[in-house]
Structure 1
Amino acid sequence: MDTNQTVAKKSKQFAIHVMKLVEHLRKNKRPYFIIDQVGRSGTSIGANVMEAEHAITQKEFLQKMYIAYKESNETLYWLELLFESGYVAPEGYQRLYTECNEIEKMLSAITKTMAEKIKRSGAL
């Protein structure tokens, strides 16, 4: 399985975990504005990876993967806020943070590799 397929699988699984977190937090009447933010950014990672998988050009692929990378950064921020505010338990936070951080690292490697490939081809 190549890295792109792996990140697609992991980001989809992460999106499911984020959806469950959002559902849990909504049931407990937590701060909706942050719940909405983490829900959007956490599920957007996988959506952008899927869009990248169907990109027509290498530049489009890079753009979508970079957006997914930025969404993973944003998601880590919202998770930190939820944890530091006491809305997410340490165990749940650590699991989600580790999962998202791993995806972020994969996306960073993918975007760096693709940017170099495009640069070498003279298309960037």
Structure 2
Amino acid sequence: MTTDGMKVKTKKFSVMVINLAEKLPNFGSSEIIASQIIKSGTSVGADYRAVCRAKSDEELASKMEIVLEKTDETLFWIEIIAEKKWVSISELETIWKEGNELTAILVNSLKAVNNRISVMS
């Protein structure tokens, strides 16, 4: 996937996360989860922008690890939301699929970058 394509995809994911958080009930624990998922989910898009500004493969890999970490954290919060049944599973399917697609793309990209780094070492 192109850099521009990933920028669009990560921003779309961030908006999906905000939309999900806005569907959560308004009480103590769900408000905390809403805050957490918004922080991690919007970091995916924002931190990917930093990936695009990396000046070396090492910096690229480091920043991409952060994006992968935030994507995984967001998927964790989606699992919690599903287990608490705050939002129906059918409503979570699209965002779950998108998060897993991003994870796969990031893992494959990281492998490629790490291979380049090891070849150049």
Same topology, TM > 0.5: yes
Contact 1:19–1:39 (CA under 8 A) maintained in structure 2? yes
Instruction: Flag structure 2 segments of 5+ consecutive residues without an equivalent.
Output: none
Instruction: Flag structure 1 segments of 5+ consecutive residues without an equivalent.
Output: none
Output the TM-score relative to the length of structure 1. Answer: 0.89
RMSD over aligned Cα, in angstroms?
1.3
Structure 2 counterparts to residues 1-124 of structure 1, below 5 A: 2-25=1-24, 28-30=25-27, 31-122=30-121
Counterpart-to-counterpart distance in 1, 2:10 and 2:85: 25
Aligned residues: 119
Percent same amino acid at aligned positions? Answer: 29
Give the AA of the match of 1:53: C
> 1:5 deviation in Å?
2.9
Counterpart-to-counterpart distance in 1, 2:111 and 2:2: 13
Counterpart-to-counterpart distance in 1, 2:64 and 2:106: 7
